[in-house]
């Protein structure tokens, strides 16, 4: 958090200028520019959604509160930035739910393979009471869960051959996000899981350290993974959302009124994210096809059948079991 105090301002004319440019309405001494991390490059929907949130927050607070987004893992890979957010070194963070799996048990639920019937159903569930319960559970770990963002569906891609059945994955080295649940998922399919940070995947594909990975269209495209791993097989095994969260330390420093402004601006950015996401999925899909990706349909049933041990191992307590049932029953 960058706080501009009156003393500093008196000696730093540049900062006075900042206060004036932004309309001069907020008392300079109250101005706060929060810092937010994102692993994605500038222009990616998640980055743009948080920038939009910053604009909304700034408007609602007469220029007093805003967020500076640091894209492209400038502040570290997701696992590190999550720790920084817990410690209050970082104010905001936009990550995928999966890297939170080992820290916040309920985040494992929407990260379960083949749990949701469609991305629309996932969105309805996450916008409702179940989603809120999951976000509320962040507080125990010094985080404030603010909103879920779209992430579409993740499918497998690799450099060897199209994946049509789990047998096609036997022995393949597949990169996953850093989560025990994901390691379990790949093992259950008979492949070799390699957990690693997002930023290392391109190099690992190039050197052959891994054979493939899995992600949605926009990430497959923005990372240029499609250039090295051209077989994209529509397994759509995961529909895990992105999440925007705040450090509880930064949150606790805000007044109740400012906390409400933050929540409201986050909510507004969800709508913006829907639009940005729909557009980017289309652009990314078209671009990878044009770039030579070979896309194949997958009969999902054998993949689903292979997931039973994963559910047995990771959906352990009653609360989790109930939540899985509620999601399965949800429209």
> By C-beta, is 277 or 311 nearer to ligand GTR?
277
Indicate whether 48 belongs to the interface with ligand GTR (CB under 6 A): no
Indicate whether 235 belongs to the interface with ligand GTR (CB under 6 A): no
Least separation, in Å, of the C-beta of 309 and ligand GTR? 23
> By C-beta, is 169 or 174 nearer to ligand GTR?
174
End-to-end CA distance of the chain: 41
Binds ligand GTR by CB under 6 A, chosen from 70, 138, 157, 198: 198
Binds ligand GTR by CB under 6 A, chosen from 177, 222, 233, 235: 177
Binds ligand GTR by CB under 6 A, chosen from 61, 151, 194, 236: 151
Q: What ranges make up the beta strands (E) of the chain?
A: 2-3, 32-38, 65-70, 92-96, 143-149, 154-158, 173-176, 192-195, 212-215, 231-238, 242-247, 294-297
The first and second tokens of residue 94, run together, are 């936009």
Residues 331 and 138: their CA atoms lie apart, in Å, by 25
Residues forming a β-bridge with 69: 36
> By C-beta, is 107 or 219 nearer to ligand GTR?
219
- Residues contacting 186, CB < 8 A, separation 6+: 174, 176, 192, 193
DSSP H or E stretch at residue 54: helix 45-60
CB 242 within 8 A of CB 150: yes
Least separation, in Å, of the C-beta of 317 and ligand GTR? 26
- Residues contacting 173, CB < 8 A, separation 6+: 191, 192, 194, 209, 210, 211, 212
Indicate whether 194 belongs to the interface with ligand GTR (CB under 6 A): no
> By C-beta, is 114 or 198 nearer to ligand GTR?
198
Least separation, in Å, of the C-beta of 198 and ligand GTR? 3
Least separation, in Å, of the C-beta of 261 and ligand GTR? 26
Binds ligand GTR by CB under 6 A, chosen from 107, 119, 219, 250: 219
CB atoms within 10 A of CB 291: 12
CB 143 within 8 A of CB 246: yes
Residues 89 and 248: their CA atoms lie apart, in Å, by 11
The first and second tokens of residue 187, run together, are 């093992």
Closest by CA to 284, choosing from 198, 207, 221, 240, is 221
Indicate whether 85 belongs to the interface with ligand GTR (CB under 6 A): no
CB 54 within 8 A of CB 66: yes
The first and second tokens of residue 46, run together, are 């998640």
Binds ligand GTR by CB under 6 A, chosen from 216, 233, 247, 269: 216
Choices 84-92, 213-221, 308-316, 323-331 (CB under 6 A): range interacting with ligand GTR? 213-221
> By C-beta, is 28 or 288 nearer to ligand GTR?
288
Binds ligand GTR by CB under 6 A, chosen from 111, 123, 215, 247: 215
Indicate whether 314 belongs to the interface with ligand GTR (CB under 6 A): no
Least separation, in Å, of the C-beta of 60 and ligand GTR? 27
Number of residues binding to ligand GTR, judged by CB under 6 A? 11
Least separation, in Å, of the C-beta of 310 and ligand GTR? 18
Site for ligand GTR, rule CB under 6 A: 39, 78, 95-96, 151, 177, 198, 215-216, 219, 242
């Amino acid at each position: 958090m960058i706080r501009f105090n009156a003393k500093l301002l008196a000696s730093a004319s540049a900062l006075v200028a900042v206060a004036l440019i932004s309309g001069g309405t907020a008392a300079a001494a109250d101005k706060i520019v929060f810092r937010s991390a994102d692993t994605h490059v500038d222009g990616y929907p998640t980055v743009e959604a948080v920038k939009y949130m910053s604009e909304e927050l700034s408007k609602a607070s007469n220029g007093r509160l805003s967020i500076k987004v640091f894209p492209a893992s400038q502040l570290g890979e997701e696992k590190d930035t999550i720790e920084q957010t817990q410690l209050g070194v970082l104010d905001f963070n936009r990550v995928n739910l999966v890297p939170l799996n080992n820290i916040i048990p309920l985040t494992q639920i929407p990260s379960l393979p083949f749990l949701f019937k469609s991305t629309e159903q996932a969105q309805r569930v996450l916008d409702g009471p179940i989603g809120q319960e999951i976000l509320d559970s962040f507080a125990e770990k010094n985080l404030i869960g603010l909103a879920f963002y779209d992430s579409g569906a993740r499918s497998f891609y690799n450099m060897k051959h199209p994946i049509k059945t789990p047998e096609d994955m036997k022995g393949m080295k597949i990169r996953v996000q850093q989560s025990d649940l994901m390691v379990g998922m790949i093992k259950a399919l008979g492949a070799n899981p390699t957990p690693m940070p997002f930023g290392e995947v391109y190099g690992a594909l190039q050197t052959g350290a891994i054979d493939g990975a899995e992600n949605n269209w926009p990430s497959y495209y923005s990372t240029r993974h499609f250039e090295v791993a051209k077989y994209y097989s529509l397994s759509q095994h995961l529909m895990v959302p992105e999440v925007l969260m705040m450090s509880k330390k930064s949150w606790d420093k805000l007044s109740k009124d400012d906390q409400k402004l933050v929540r409201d601006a986050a909510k507004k950015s969800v709508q913006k994210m829907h639009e940005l996401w729909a557009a980017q999925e289309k652009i990314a899909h078209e671009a990878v096809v044009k770039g030579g990706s070979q896309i194949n349909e997958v009969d999902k049933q054998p993949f689903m059948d292979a997931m039973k041990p994963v559910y047995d191992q990771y959906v352990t307590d009653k609360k989790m079991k109930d939540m899985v049932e509620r999601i399965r029953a949800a429209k």
